[in-house]
A and B are shown apart, each in its own frame.
Chain A
């Protein structure tokens, strides 16, 4: 699976959009970009995933560059409850019946300030 690079930490004001970047310059054609978050020692929570088109759901938007070497997770109106470590994970969608392991890096600690 391709390696990802994320900033160690970011701050965001409550009510503003939080834009979390992720670099995955070695991503291959069949690898998807997944985002999870972990709120202080709770179980990781799935946010969104995509291949090459931009994706949006009730939690966030995922913008993937045309060359797929980087992506941005957007939380449109951050709240205090969005303070968490955000993980960008690159992985093949279907590993042919093998392990669907998620490889978590260090992630980005997003702190939403009042």
Chain B
């Protein structure tokens, strides 16, 4: 089944403890992207990747890192999480970004 998977789905952590949210797609998509969703602010793009080893900042990249060493994986790294990064995170992928984008199920992160 074609899908985008994210892990973990839920995470509660403390300020400053490094964490990684994984994203994987099995559709051989070139384009991948991370969004965060907050009440009243909608979905905002954090980082995106056009292909392997090609990543760039979205609208709200501060406090996040990403890597794209393999086509299928696009992990989101929070080196020193802070409470303002408490949010619902979505990974998305697309063959070339032009047509439909497939979203993962989301990761609900709480930083205490």
Contacts and interface: CB of A to CB of B under 8 A. Distances in A.
Answer yes or no: are A and B bound together in one complex. Answer: yes
A49 interface: yes
A15 B80 CA distance: 50
Contacts of A93: 98
Contacts of A46: 100-102
A99 B58 contact: yes
Interface in B71-108: 88, 90, 92, 94, 96-106, 108
Contacts, number: 52
Interface residues of B, number: 27
A67 to B, nearest CB: 24
B56 A102 contact: no
B45 interface: yes
Contacts of B101: 46, 100, 102
Please report whether the interface of chain A is mostly helix, strand, loop or mixed according to DSSP.
loop
Nearest 5 A/B pairs, CB to CB: A100-B97, A43-B103, A46-B100, A104-B43, A104-B42
Interface of B: 4, 31, 33, 42-43, 45, 48, 50, 56, 58-59, 88, 90, 92, 94, 96-106, 108
10 contacts: A41-B106, A41-B108, A43-B4, A43-B90, A43-B92, A43-B105, A44-B103, A49-B99, A101-B45, A102-B45
